[in-house]
Amino acid sequence: MLNEIEEAGSDKRTFFELLGGAESGTQNIRLLVETFYDIMDSDPKAKPLRDMHQPDLTSAREKLFMFLTGWTGGPQLYIERYGHPMLRKRHMPFEIGESARDQWMYCMIKAMHQLAYDDDLMKKLANQLYGVADFMRNKQGH
């Protein structure tokens, strides 16, 4: 998993540790996911992305929380419950192009801003998440 900050002079702490580690990392990831989905559910800029999801976001919220907890370097909650994430395979039924990727990133970055993440952490986390979001694309163009 891409869970370490890779740059010269980095202390190599995982994102989970930077988000609070054992003490508060899980709660902070839960808050990020809840804020992300609240934005996706209400922001007109994310309506096409929202329309790709089930009317009830409960399952999506829980799965993203579990995935991000492990992806950031915390407990492997998703793998323990569902096995390997197989992200591309699980997202294949949905047409995901640049527009969906960008809407997803918009919601995630807006959530980080809303939660007042440190700029440096936000940039590094957004950069790594962009790689994951871009990997989900299965449709050329928008």
Per domain, the residue ranges of the chain are 20-136
Residue 21: the pLDDT is: 94
**128-131: long-range contacts at Cβ-Cβ below 8 A with a sequence spacing of 24 or more?**
128/2, 128/15, 129/105, 130/105, 131/2
Residue 93: the pLDDT is: 86
Model pTM greater than 0.85?
A: yes
Q: Which CATH class is domain 20-136?
A: mainly alpha
Q: Is 4 helix (H, G, I), strand (E, B) or coil?
A: strand
Q: What is the rounded distance in angstroms from the CA atom of residue 125 to the CA atom of residue 61? A: 19
Q: Minimal CA–CA distance to 39: which of 95, 93, 115?
A: 115
Region of 139 on the Ramachandran plot (φ > 0 left; ψ -120 to 50 alpha; else beta): beta
Of residues 106 and 86, more confidence is placed in 106
